Amino acid sequence: MIDPIADMLTRIRNASAVNKHEIVLPMSKIKYEVAKILKREGWISDVEVLKTGQGKKANTVFSELKIVLKYKKSGNSVITKIKRASKPGLRIYANKNNLPKVLNNFGIAIISTPKGLMTNKEARKKGLGGEVLCEIY
């Protein structure tokens, strides 16, 4: 897999399009951090790391990430749009003065800074720039 973050965002987008309650995907630290930010900002209900055994004797143990999606009372997904900004073929960076405003600050952008992953609002407060991973609204 070339771009695991794009795969994660696509799984979330597809699951919310068919009103699926939860998704399970392969675990990685960056996906877990992105999911924790989405939970903290109220875009998803829950995120959990699952340990799964594989094979007859279950000698191989690997982790999976379980994301519980969030829906409004009307049945529509809380996430209207989720898109990857920076791609492996075209990285998008923003300095502290040019951080993106997503949907007039109703949405968020997830920024990879030297201090770790954070939203565009947190990065603006801390005066940090970095790679713009994705935008959610």
Q: What is the pLDDT of residues 6-22, one digit of tens each?
A: 999 999 999 999 999 99
DSSP assigned state of 41: T
Domains of the chain, with CATH numbers? 4-136 (3.30.1490.10)
One-character DSSP codes across 48-80: EEEEEEESSS--EEEEEEEEEE-B-TTS-BS-S
Q: What is the pLDDT of residue 61?
A: 78
> How sure is the predictor about 57, in pLDDT bands with cuts at 50, 70 and 90?
low
Three-state secondary-structure class, residue 47? strand
Asked if the model's pLDDT at residue 55 lies above 70, the reply is no
Asked if the model's pLDDT at residue 64 lies above 90, the reply is yes
Tokens 């994660």 appear where?
8
Q: What are phi and psi of 48, to 5 degrees?
A: -150, 145
Asked if the model's pLDDT at residue 56 lies above 90, the reply is no
Mean pLDDT of 87-93: 95
Strands 93-94 and 116-119: unpaired
Q: State the Cα–Cα distance between residues 95 and 112, nearest whole angstrom.
A: 11
With contact defined as beta carbons under 8 Å apart, do 34 and 8 qualify? yes
CA dihedral for 123, 91, 103, 21, sign (positive or negative): negative
With contact defined as beta carbons under 8 Å apart, do 109 and 132 qualify? yes
Q: What percent of the chain has pLDDT over 90?
A: 90
Asked if the model's pLDDT at residue 26 lies above 90, the reply is yes
Asked if the model's pLDDT at residue 106 lies above 90, the reply is yes
